[in-house]
A and B are shown apart, each in its own frame.
Chain A
């Protein structure tokens, strides 16, 4: 064995000035900048309102499986297969004075049995039933609990939004960075393709795709993510990445011998990522609205979603009853609107943090 030269004393005198490991410094920096940005985000009320609504919906979504397994009887509360029809009692009379508790003979004979006489009490199962203790938001025309449907659909909306968001960030960041960094024909081809996707309206395309293929939630999420990531978002990110790629640190990295992949992944992508997250929020807004629209049109292969809830109420003819059957139309419509608006508001709030031109001076 050869004798080892001990280098330890040498290093401790002339070693690195900072003893802390690199990751801890990075973490501290990240936390500090997060804290600063968070303060700016909070100062702008709009984003905070959006975040509050999102958290509320997330809680609803998390609560549903717990309620289903612990509290609610699946035979009654299952969003798709449950059935419950609260019974209302009516006294059969000659002339109806109070429609809530009385019924005339002809109707009673039609609805109950032909041998009913005046003065009898008939019991009629109600479907859709108004809100009651058992069903806080009533039941739908098929006797299913609206609140359960609403909570169940929340999970689907979040899952699809997450898929769409992930895909759009992945694709938009890649396409934008690559197009900006390489330029030339790569840039040209990618951007013309983005033009095409941006120009052709999404809804008719998705309607036709829905006719040709079996559209499931993950598939639709991926489709929306790809289309929005390759379209408008990619164009915005490309112009942002173009600004980054002419910065001195990119030149420095190239001089130091960094490969193209290294420069794109380590220098360009981290700098366009915030903007990418901002546009991700708008993608989620779009995804939620599109999913609801397509299921409203009956083109989605899903068992239950907010769009289907409205579709059910609409197709069974409860629309023009308006506020009388409010629980059929309003909870689902408001849920779609509010969740979509919440993501949009968070996007606006982030916009004011990322985009310094918008701040109030």
Chain B
């Protein structure tokens, strides 16, 4: 346990160092850009040179490069990211923290969904090597993996958001955005209040289910423990619905959930393909191992060999790939947010870039990079927990 703790703290320090390097690179990227903020009025003859110099002094652009760099770092780590230019004078931090929960929920739920489905499909796929269904699914997986993502998202909107609703006559999935504004007129809550409550309730009920499962596994025998696990997770999923059914926020929570489904599904579907292909090749390598042959010789059922002997060992490289999948999901998430007009950090970043709101763009990028690094740290810890060899 101590070894694990040392490993975690070492990795955390490394990540922090990487983040500082990233910020440094970002700062010099900004410096390398032709011109600076004080020069945007350079063509305006009505502004005298003294006024331009004053503007540069106010923005700290007359300081030498190194002290500007120090000021940038100090500001960043004291939480001062400047004011947004497109939504002046709202601080960048406020804009980002408003959008952050939506982005995290999108990334997290899509990643979890993609991982679960991808792993289950991948192991079945490897088991059916050489059959027609394997070929078709692999080709489909490659197609999904390399599909031009914005186009795919547009097609999903058209198929599920538009055509499906047209055909059935009810609005199965909304086309885009985070809420229906008309339903929220006169609402006593803000979207973030409702959304944060949703996250809280869902996470808490899942946590309770997980704790119940762990306790059951220690106290009870295996069959009963599995039964307890199934019931606990079923209740964990059902409880938030019951809670919001009786809560005053219910109507609004349902609206948000309704808008969340299609973006999460789209992102998960694309990330899923990569995980499936990876699990397949990892499984194919494990199937060569001698202990699989031993398990076969013992006469164990196919399903047990597949799930207990092969899949468990194939899980390791799949978890390692969480890093790559994370970069994929984050990149895809930004496009998802843009295409679906989902007001997260990605859309904020995109709009900032389009409107040339440099402070907001820089802040958004730093936060996204920080998210990626934190995700990577979590994956590292998970890996060290799963594979004791890493810790030593």
Contact = CB atoms under 8 A, between A and B. Distances in A.
Contact of A336 (B148, B284, B331): B148
Given A204-B334, A211-B361, A337 B350 contact: no
B148 A314 contact: no
A54 to B, nearest CB: 13
B153 to A, nearest CB: 10
A203 B332 CA distance: 8
Select the residue from A207, A209, A297 with max chain B CB neighbours within 10 A: A207
A4 B341 CA distance: 89
Interface string A161-197: 0000000000000000000000000000000100110
B297 interface: no
Nearest to A206: B331
B146 A207 contact: no
Contact of A358 (B158, B281, B376): B281
Given A207-B334, A207-B349, A298-B354, A201 B324 contact: no
A115 B237 CA distance: 66
A333 interface: yes
B338 A297 contact: yes
B122 interface: no
Given A208-B365, A337-B143, A358-B284, A200 B353 contact: no
Best-buried of A200, A296, A336, A345 by chain B (most CB within 10 Å): A200
A191 to B, nearest CB: 12
A357 interface: yes
A158 B285 CA distance: 34
A210 B361 CA distance: 11
Contacts of B148: 289, 292-293, 306, 310, 333, 336-337, 340
A196 B21 contact: yes
A198 interface: yes
B307 interface: no
A256 B331 CA distance: 50
B150 interface: yes
Interface of A: 192, 195-196, 198-205, 207-213, 232, 285, 289, 292-293, 296-299, 306-307, 310, 314, 319-320, 322, 329, 332-333, 336-337, 340-341, 344-345, 348, 357-358, 360-361
Specify which of A198, A213, A341 lies most central, judged by the most chain B CB atoms within 10 Å of its CB.
Answer: A341
A236 to B, nearest CB: 12
Nearest to A298: B354
A211 B360 CA distance: 12
A204 B331 CA distance: 7
B151 A199 contact: no
A122 to B, nearest CB: 30
Contacts of A329: 151, 154-155
Given A199-B18, A201-B368, A207-B353, A340 B146 contact: yes
27 contacts: A195-B18, A196-B18, A199-B18, A199-B369, A199-B372, A200-B327, A204-B330, A204-B346, A204-B365, A207-B349, A208-B362, A212-B29, A212-B30, A212-B33, A292-B148, A296-B151, A297-B335, A297-B338, A310-B154, A320-B157, A320-B162, A333-B148, A333-B151, A341-B143, A341-B145, A344-B145, A358-B281
Given A208-B362, A320-B158, A341-B143, A198 B18 contact: no
Contacts of B330: 201, 203-204
Interface of B: 18, 21-22, 29-30, 32-33, 129-130, 142-143, 145-152, 154-155, 157-158, 162-163, 175, 281, 284-285, 288, 323-324, 326-327, 330-332, 334-335, 338, 346, 349-350, 352-354, 356, 358, 361-362, 364-365, 368-369, 372-373, 376
A40 B284 CA distance: 19
Contacts of A293: 148-150, 335
Contacts of B324: 198, 232
A198 B349 contact: no
A340 B326 CA distance: 20
Nearest to B149: A293
In the A-B complex, the 3 residue pairs with the smallest Cβ-Cβ separation, listed nearest first, are: A203-B331, A333-B151, A336-B148
A208 B356 CA distance: 10
A208 B372 contact: no
Nearest to B157: A319
Given A195-B18, A285-B146, A208 B349 contact: yes
Nearest to A203: B331
Q: For A285, A293, A329, which residue has the most chain B Cβ atoms within 10 angstroms?
A: A293
B353 A322 contact: no
B238 to A, nearest CB: 35
A212 B281 CA distance: 40
B146 A208 contact: no
Contact of B349 (A192, A204, A320, A344): A204
A211 to B, nearest CB: 4
Contacts of A204: 330-331, 334, 346, 349, 364-365, 368-369
Contact of B142 (A298, A306, A345): A345
A209 B29 contact: yes
Contact of B22 (A200, A292, A357): A200
A14 to B, nearest CB: 52
A296 to B, nearest CB: 5
A232 B32 CA distance: 26
A213 B31 CA distance: 11
B147 A337 contact: yes
Nearest to A344: B146
Contacts of A344: 142, 145-146
A207 B346 CA distance: 10
A192 B362 CA distance: 23
Contacts of B162: 320, 322
Contact of B327 (A202, A296, A348): A202
Contacts of A299: 353
A203 B145 contact: no
